[in-house]
Amino acid sequence: MSKSVLVTGATGKTGSEVVKGLIARGETVKAGAHTPEKAREMFGAHAGVQVVPLDFGRPETFDAALAAVDRIWLLAVTGDTAPDQALMPFVDRAKAAGVRHIVYMTARGVEMDETNPLRQVEHYIEKSGIGYTFLRPSWFMQNFSSGFIAPMITGMGGIYLPAADAKTSFIDARDIAAVGIAALTEPGHHGKAYALTSGQAWTYGEAAEILSRAAGKPIRYVALSDEDFRNSLTSQGWKPEQVAMFSNLFSGVRQGWAAAVSPDVAHVLGRPQITLEQFAQDHAAVWR
C-alpha cells in the first residue's frame, strides 16, 4: 500500500502551502483539520488530497488520520500555551502507526530554553526513535497580511506593538513551507534543525515603510509600552496566559533575539529567501 503525508493544520498559513506543494510533487496527502469543512473547501477538488478530521484535543481522531501515513508535517495549534500536552500523545500514536519521519515546526530560539513546551516536544520526538527535522521559523511576514497585525493596519492604519526599534528577520510562510516540503520529500534532512529567517532584518518602522510603498498609502508604526500592549490584548478578549506569552515574545524582540539572520532557507532551497519587499508587493491589495 502506498503511503501518504499527513499535514496537520492543513488550512493554516504554512499548512495550506505545504499541501499545495506536496500536490505539485505528486504526493498523496492527508489534510488534517480541526474544521474539515474548511479544508474541503480549500482542497476538495484535488484528487490527491484526503481531508481527515484531526483535533489534538480529541485522541479518538488520531488513528484514522494516521492510517497509511509514513510522514507528517506537524505543528502546534496557534496560541496553545501547553502544546506538549497536546502533541506528545499524538507522537506516541504516530510511532505505533509506523510513521518514519516527522517535520515539526516550532519557533526560532526554542533550543535556548529547555523549559519551553515546544522544545520539550522536540526532545520527545528525538527520544521516540522516529526520524525528524525541526523547523524553527522567525516571525511570519504573513502576520502583516492575515495574522494578528493585519486588523491593526486595516482598522487603525498602523502597526501597534511593543517592539521599540529592535529588528526582526521576518520569514515568508511560503519559504517555511518550501523547506518543509523538501524535508518531507528529499533525502538529507533527517536529524537536522533549521533556523528559518529572511535574508535581512528590519525594524517594524522599516517594515511599515515597505508596506506603505506597496500599498500606496501611509502605514505607520507606533511603539507601544508593554503595559499598553497587554491591556489592548486583554480588551480584545485574549486569555491571560496568551497575553503573558505574547508579552514575553516581544520582550525577546526588544532584546534583539529576533534579529539574527540564518542562511538555512537559502541553503536548503538553493535560492535567496523571499524579501519583505516581494511579500509586500504580493499582498498589497490587503492594505489598500
186: Cβ contacts below 8 Å, ≥ 6 apart = none
Q: What is the pLDDT of residues 5-37, one digit of tens each?
A: 999 999 999 999 999 999 999 999 999 999 999
> What cell does 66 get?
494516521
From the centroid of its chain, how far is CA 89? 21
HEC string of 119-157?
A: HHHHHHHHHHCCEEEEEEECCEHHHCCCCCCHHHHHHHC
Query: What is the spatial distance between Cα 245 and Cα 238, in angstroms, rounded to a whole number?
Result: 11
φ/ψ of 7, rounded to 5, equals -105, 110
Q: Which residues of the chain have pLDDT under 70?
A: 1-2
By the 8 A CB rule, do 62 and 90 touch?
Answer: yes
For residue 105, the SS3 value is strand
- Percent of the chain residues past pLDDT 70, beyond the cut: 99
Judge whether 196 and 257 are in contact, CB under 8 Å: no
3-state helix, strand, coil in the chain (%, to 5): 45, 20, 35
Pairing mode, strands 131-137 and 29-33:
unpaired
In order of start, what are the domains of the chain with their CATH numbers? 1-137 (3.40.50.720), 138-171+197-288 (3.90.25.10)
Give the global pTM: 0.95
Q: Which amino acid is at 177?
A: A
Output the pLDDT for position 63. Answer: 96
Residue 2 is predicted with a pLDDT of 61
